């Protein structure tokens, strides 16, 4: 047994024979042409054919991985119309009198090299897209449309690299998973692999000689095991069987409404902690995003994110949700979430310290920058906003004043914004106890059970040693939740839960009976929860 460790591209287990996918880069010769005009024509015709192929691929991808993920092939088609790209190819043909495939290959290499050298990981990953387009164009120009090189029987594919178009073109029946030497977690190939549910790892120096050997791929651990021994094989087979059960569940519950056995609709939303989560939010069929933890924008940055940077991120999220609700939680920094440039002082009790809304209300300019970005993004989807760590009516009044200022300023600048529902998180016992009064001021409540548990039971959520004392079903907590739902409803507020407790299947029946309107959980819990809700009276 040999174990090779690379990096996770897509989780899951695959067991089967390894198939080495040898894909030699197409050799392109340079030669002088007498009539560059004819080469320009060949280039234009090849582009037309490439666009046709990409449209066919797009349609296949829409069926298999959904519209959002399929978009990459439309982007490829758009890249073919890029002015710089076309100028480069055309100039080479006319100035150097070279053949079209040579001009395409050189331009592709130059552009891919430029992207590969960029600092930003997202742009670096785009080098693979450029290579993919370039190879397609060269293949058309050389009239060399080789077979797809697919394994004859279902196998784990090993390759130096895989292009997004190759990944989609492959027959899923023949592909158990793949392992490559190159490829990043944010490449489109990786995104497609995750969406297609194919286990995949990268960063392993695959060898031709491995072809035909028995292998197991553990996507989560980023491991490739060659000739697994009996014990390892048994463990992996058990996990594979569990994964398959989960997949069956996915297929069965995707696209359905979330309704209780008694016929009541419950909104089933997902929590998202960064932009990459958007893929799994959609993949798992969430009906909206119930908690968009905006602080990731601040934590992943080395400076206060500008209004424009935030606006772009919220707009992208809103557009991806395509009309489904996106609830953005305003900055919840402090305590365990620290960013150096905030210059926050060390505190004795950070969980009960200067954090979240307290920072925003003490530094209104910071708060206003975020609110402006959120309200501007609301012109591109169904955006709501909610405020964390509330303890008093005064805080809510002050927030509303600031929101009115922001709306007035945006209006004066002719910057569009939509109707934005406003809610608060109920994550302190204080907020739960005065929820009757608070409900008159807002549109909705979202109960943050992670913090509500911490403050109600006086158990630091960061301290592992206290786990034995922590009863997540403590009657004090359940009574507070019940009270919040009743007070919210009495004043016409809808009430949801966005803390981890919302995904606790032992409590689903209880939440439904207590009258909960929404549950927002991590994306992988959406479908199991939809099933559970359907069984609740």
**What is the spatial distance between Cα 289 and Cα 383, in angstroms, rounded to a whole number?**
10
In terms of Cα–Cα distance, which of 380, 441, 390, 443 is closest to 415?
380
Segment interacting with ligand PEP, rule: CB under 6 A, options 219-227, 238-246, 399-407, 446-454? 446-454
CA dist 345 to 331, 350, 354, 361, 449, Å? Answer: 18, 10, 9, 17, 27
Q: How many CB atoms lie within 10 A of CB 426?
A: 34
Pair 161, 124: CB distance under 8 Å? no
Which own/partner pairs from 347-352 qualify as long-range (CB within 8 Å, at least 24 positions apart)?
A: 351/454, 351/460, 351/461, 351/462, 352/455
The distance of closest approach from Cβ of residue 332 to ligand PEP in the complex, given in angstroms and rounded to an integer, is: 6
- Candidates 129, 132, 427, 518; binder of ligand PEP (CB under 6 A) is 427
Binding partner at 498 among Mg ion, ligand PEP, none, C-beta below 5 to 8 Å by kind: ligand PEP
- Candidates 451, 504, 517, 518; binder of ligand PEP (CB under 6 A) is 451
Residue 223 or 520 with smaller CB distance to ligand PEP: 520
Alpha carbon 373 to chain centroid, angstroms = 20
**What is the spatial distance between Cα 473 and Cα 403, in angstroms, rounded to a whole number?**
36
Residue 381 or 448 with smaller CB distance to ligand PEP: 448
- Candidates 203, 448, 496, 523; binder of ligand PEP (CB under 6 A) is 448
Q: Which residues, including other chains, have CB under 8 Å from residue 338's CB and lie 6 or more apart?
A: 344
- 498 catalytically annotated: yes
- Candidates 47, 126, 293, 530; binder of ligand PEP (CB under 6 A) is 293
94 lies in the binding site for ligand PEP (CB under 6 A): no
CA dist 44 to 49, 129, 174, Å? Answer: 9, 20, 35
Q: Which residues, including other chains, have CB under 8 Å from residue 520's CB and lie 6 or more apart?
A: 269, 270, 271, 289, 290, 291, 327, 446, 496, 497, 498, 502
- 188 catalytically annotated: yes
166 lies in the binding site for Mg ion (CB under 5 A): no
449 lies in the binding site for ligand PEP (CB under 6 A): yes
332 lies in the binding site for ligand PEP (CB under 6 A): yes
Instruction: Name the strand (E) or helix (H) holding 329.
Output: strand 325-329
Residue nearest Mg ion, CB atom distance: 451
- Candidates 277, 283, 285, 451; binder of Mg ion (CB under 5 A) is 451
Segment interacting with Mg ion, rule: CB under 5 A, options 24-32, 290-298, 424-432, 489-497? 424-432
Binding partner at 185 among Mg ion, ligand PEP, none, C-beta below 5 to 8 Å by kind: none
334 lies in the binding site for ligand PEP (CB under 6 A): no
Binding partner at 74 among ligand PEP, Mg ion, none, C-beta below 5 to 8 Å by kind: none
448 lies in the binding site for Mg ion (CB under 5 A): yes
The distance of closest approach from Cβ of residue 520 to ligand PEP in the complex, given in angstroms and rounded to an integer, is: 8
Instruction: Name the strand (E) or helix (H) holding 334.
Output: none
277 lies in the binding site for ligand PEP (CB under 6 A): no
Helix (H, G, I), strand (E, B) or coil at 427: coil
Binding partner at 135 among ligand PEP, Mg ion, none, C-beta below 5 to 8 Å by kind: none
522 lies in the binding site for ligand PEP (CB under 6 A): no
Binding partner at 293 among Mg ion, ligand PEP, none, C-beta below 5 to 8 Å by kind: ligand PEP
Number of residues that bind ligand PEP (CB under 6 A): 10
Question: Tokens 């992670």, residue?
Answer: 450
**What is the spatial distance between Cα 535 and Cα 135, in angstroms, rounded to a whole number?**
52
- Candidates 450, 486, 524, 534; binder of ligand PEP (CB under 6 A) is 450
The distance of closest approach from Cβ of residue 462 to Mg ion in the complex, given in angstroms and rounded to an integer, is: 12
Q: Which residues, including other chains, have CB under 8 Å from residue 491's CB and lie 6 or more apart?
A: 436, 439, 440
Q: Is the dihedral of CA 355, 358, 364, 370 positive or negative?
A: positive
Q: Identify the active-site residue in 76, 360, 493, 498.
A: 498
The distance of closest approach from Cβ of residue 333 to ligand PEP in the complex, given in angstroms and rounded to an integer, is: 10
197 lies in the binding site for ligand PEP (CB under 6 A): no
Q: Which residues, including other chains, have CB under 8 Å from residue 352's CB and lie 6 or more apart?
A: 455
Segment interacting with Mg ion, rule: CB under 5 A, options 149-157, 185-193, 235-243, 422-430? 422-430
CA dist 255 to 250, 251, 270, Å? Answer: 10, 9, 15
The distance of closest approach from Cβ of residue 519 to ligand PEP in the complex, given in angstroms and rounded to an integer, is: 12
Segment interacting with ligand PEP, rule: CB under 6 A, options 175-183, 442-450, 466-474, 481-489? 442-450
DSSP letter string, 137-177: HHHHHTT--------SSSEEEEES---HHHHHHS-GGGEEE
Residue 17: both structure tokens together: 């024979």
Answer left, alpha or beta for residue 222, where phi above 0 means left and psi between -120 and 50 means alpha. left
The distance of closest approach from Cβ of residue 324 to ligand PEP in the complex, given in angstroms and rounded to an integer, is: 19
Binding partner at 499 among ligand PEP, Mg ion, none, C-beta below 5 to 8 Å by kind: ligand PEP
The distance of closest approach from Cβ of residue 454 to ligand PEP in the complex, given in angstroms and rounded to an integer, is: 8
**Looking at the annotation, which residues are catalytic?**
188, 498
Residues found near Mg ion in the complex (CB under 5 A): 427, 448, 451
Residues found near ligand PEP in the complex (CB under 6 A): 291, 293, 332, 427, 448-451, 498-499
């Amino acid at each position: 047994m040999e174990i090779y460790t690379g990096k996770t591209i897509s989780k899951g287990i695959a067991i089967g024979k390894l198939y080495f996918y040898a894909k030699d880069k197409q050799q392109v010769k340079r030669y002088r042409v007498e009539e560059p005009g004819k080469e320009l024509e060949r280039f234009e015709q090849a582009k037309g054919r490439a666009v046709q192929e990409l449209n066919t691929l797009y349609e296949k991808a829409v069926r298999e991985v959904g519209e959002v993920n399929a978009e990459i092939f439309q982007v490829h088609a758009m890249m073919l119309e890029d002015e710089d790209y076309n100028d480069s190819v055309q100039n080479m043909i006319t100035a150097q009198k070279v053949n079209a495939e040579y001009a395409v290959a050189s331009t592709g290499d130059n552009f891919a090299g430029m992207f590969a050298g960029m600092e930003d990981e997202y742009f670096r990953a785009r080098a693979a897209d450029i290579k993919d387009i370039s190879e397609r164009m060269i293949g058309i120009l050389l009239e060399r449309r080789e077979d797809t090189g697919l394994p004859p029987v279902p196998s784990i594919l090993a390759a130096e690299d895989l292009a997004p178009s190759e990944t989609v073109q492959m027959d899923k029946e023949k592909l158990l998973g793949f392992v490559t030497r190159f490829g990043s977690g944010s490449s489109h190939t990786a995104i497609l692999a995750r969406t297609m549910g194919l286990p995949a790892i990268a960063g392993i120096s695959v060898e031709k000689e491995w072809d035909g050997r028995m292998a197991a791929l553990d996507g989560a651990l980023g491991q490739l095991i060659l000739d697994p021994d009996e014990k390892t094989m048994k463990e992996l087979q058990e996990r594979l069987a569990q994964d398959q059960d989960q997949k069956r569940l996915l297929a069965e519950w995707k696209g359905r409404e979330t309704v209780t056995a008694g016929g009541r609709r419950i909104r089933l939303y997902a929590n998202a902690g960064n932009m990459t989560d958007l893929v799994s939010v959609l993949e798992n069929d969430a009906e909206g995003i119930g908690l968009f933890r905006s602080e990731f924008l601040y934590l992943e940055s080395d400076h206060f994110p500008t209004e424009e940077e935030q606006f772009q991120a919220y707009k992208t999220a809103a557009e991806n949700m395509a009309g489904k609700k996106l609830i953005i939680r305003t900055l919840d920094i402090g305590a365990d979430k620290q960013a150096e440039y905030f210059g926050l002082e060390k505190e004795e009790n950070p969980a009960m310290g200067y954090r979240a809304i307290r920072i925003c209300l003490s530094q209104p300019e910071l708060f206003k920058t975020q609110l402006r970005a959120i309200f501007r993004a609301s012109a591109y989807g169904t955006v709501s906003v909610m405020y964390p760590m509330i303890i008093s009516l005064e805080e809510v009044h002050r927030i509303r004043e600031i929101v009115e200022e922001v709306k007035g300023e945006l209006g004066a600048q002719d910057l569009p914004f939509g109707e934005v529902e406003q809610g608060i998180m109920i994550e302190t016992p204080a907020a739960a106890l005065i929820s009757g009064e608070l409900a008159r001021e807002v549109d909705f409540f979202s109960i943050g059970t992670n913090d509500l548990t911490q403050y109600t039971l006086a158990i630091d959520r960061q301290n592992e040693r206290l786990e034995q004392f922590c009863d997540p079903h403590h009657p004090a907590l359940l009574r507070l939740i019940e009270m919040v739902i009743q007070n919210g409803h009495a004043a016409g507020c809808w009430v949801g839960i966005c803390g981890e407790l919302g995904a606790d299947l032992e409590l689903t029946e209880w939440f439904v009976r207590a009258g909960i309107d929404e549950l927002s959980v991590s994306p992988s819990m959406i479908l199991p929860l939809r099933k559970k809700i359907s069984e609740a009276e």
